Amino acid sequence: MLTLPANVPGQSVDPGMPTAVVAWSLTPSANDVVEGTTAVVCTDSSSGQAVTAGANYPVGVTVVTCTSSDSVPNKSTGQFTITIIGRWGI
């Protein structure tokens, strides 16, 4: 089972800045019935780059895709969004 943060709605950038630092509501986690806790990797869905809580996010909507696999490999995937509002909107 994969547990993800809630969507991050409408966080504003500081004046003159192109990005905003975003803290997620909880750390993504995964639990497998047989293997217990499994690692979770989160990426920006458009770039494929790894993303983390506390990182800078650009103005607009970033779709974060998180994935966890066990040794079989069963795979679990989920998404949440981070919305950053610039001086003139999204």
pLDDT tens, residue by residue, 25-41 = 899 999 998 999 999 99
Residue entry with tokens 């066990």: 70
- Supply the pLDDT for residue 89: 63
Taking Cα atoms as reference points, which of 24, 87, 81 lies closest to residue 53? 24
List the domain boundaries for the chain.
Answer: 2-85
What global pTM score does this model have? 0.89
Chain centroid to CA 20:
14
16: pLDDT confidence band, cut at 50, 70 and 90?
confident
Question: Is the preceding peptide bond at 18 cis, omega within 30 degrees of 0?
Answer: no
Instruction: Please give the Cα distance from 90 to 83 (Å, whole number).
Output: 8
Per-residue pLDDT tens over the stretch 42-73: 999 999 999 999 999 999 999 999 999 999 98
Identify the band that residue 90 occupies on the pLDDT scale cut at 50, 70 and 90.
Answer: low
Q: What CA–CA distance (Å, rounded) separates 82 from 47?
A: 14
Torsions phi, psi for 78 (to 5 deg): -150, 165
Candidates 1.10.3470, 3.40.1000, 3.40.50, 2.60.40; CATH matching 2-85? 2.60.40
